[in-house]
A and B are shown apart, each in its own frame.
Chain A
Amino acid sequence: MTEVNGVFVVAHELKSPLALMRQLALSIDLEDEKSVVFAKDKIVSTAERAMRQVNDLTKIARLEDGLFELEPVSVRGVCDDVTRELRYLYRENHKTLKEKYTNRSKLVVANREMLYSVIYNFCLNALRYSDEETRSELIVKDSGDKIEIRVRDFGPALPVKIWKELKYGWISEPTSIAMRPGSSGLGLYIASKFARFMNGDVSAIRHRDGTSFILKLPVSKQASLF
């Protein structure tokens, strides 16, 4: 990410939650308890999502400092935590996230927080870009000596330019214009960086009715206790 472009993209990405939180705060009518509860809940969840993104960016800046360890991580455990956290948001948006696990290998070599962040980003992306009343899918399966974690949404397909970039490598920088409308692609950039650090790959498949984002991580040879 070039410095100027990176600063621009991050600034733009953080403007949306800040603008929303400001509007939420202004909307509070102290005599209307419903408006207070609504604004409080939304401010908290919006701030948490923005903080997660800032934390991820901080990690990216320090990837080479040797601070983050790779270890055997249970994919199912991380997926369960992500879906538990996002269940409320999916329900609120009248959407569902269906999970399907067929993987025989249970552990991958990963950094748990980074793996969580990538799956969280994929699932949040699917929520955002799915059409009304549709179901997104989180599918985990074996793929040779790797485990594949795939999130499929049913909405507008990923633009060809971005698909090609993912197909032939990885996202080297978020674009300063929308990749899919309304998105700077910062989430994908973060996912690409984390995947590479964990010796994995991020890729995407375009469908006529949506997109699948895929993360592949090496299987851990350690015996699973799960």
Chain B
Amino acid sequence: MKKPLIYVIEDDRDMSELLTNYLKRIAEVKKFYNAISAVNNIDEDNPSLILLDILLDGPDGFTFLNEIMSYQKTAKIPIILITSLEIGAKEDLIDYGVVEILNKESTTPDEIREVTEKWIDRNVKNN
């Protein structure tokens, strides 16, 4: 069976590499270092889930959220924010497709894998 596709949008190359290593066992991972290149590919790829950093080079994570939630085709892709910023409650971002917020300072590789797996499963079942 083909592995689901995950987007990792993270401008720090090292962090991006780490996240890819964490997740490649459970999914195919595509890395993007900025929001623009991710937006350029998203319609064609239709990923099952997106891991998104907030402070990015160029347009930031919030701009990316606004962009993809405004298109029917991408509005329902679940998004996990992974950031060092304190950005408040998940409930405030549900309308933007954000299903989880992970803090880079306290989360663990296992937690990242578990949360990702959980939301991939839900997304696959719902579709």
List A residues at the B interface (Cβ < 8 Å): 12, 15-16, 18-20, 22-24, 26-27, 35, 38, 42, 46, 92-93, 128-129, 132, 155-156, 178, 180-182
Most buried by A among B12, B14, B109: B14
Interface residue total, chain B, C-beta cutoff 8 A: 21
Interface of A is mostly: helix
Contact in complex: A15, B84 (CB < 8 Å): yes
Sample of 5 A–B contacts (CB below 8 Å): A15-B105, A93-B13, A180-B57, A181-B11, A182-B57
Set of chain B residues within 8 Å of A156, measured between Cβ atoms:
57-58
Contact in complex: B33, A181 (CB < 8 Å): no
How many CB-defined contacts (below 8 Å) exist between A and B? 53
Contact in complex: B57, A155 (CB < 8 Å): yes
Set of chain B residues within 8 Å of A182, measured between Cβ atoms:
11, 55-57
Q: A156-B57, A181-B56, A181-B60 are in contact. Are A23 and B11 (CB under 8 A)?
A: no
Q: With the chains together, A156 CA to B14 CA distance in Å? A: 21
Interface of B is mostly: loop
Q: With the chains together, A46 CA to B18 CA distance in Å? A: 14
Set of chain B residues within 8 Å of A42, measured between Cβ atoms:
14
Interchain residue pairs A-B with the least CB separation, the first 9: A19-B104, A182-B55, A19-B105, A15-B84, A156-B58, A181-B60, A19-B84, A42-B14, A23-B18
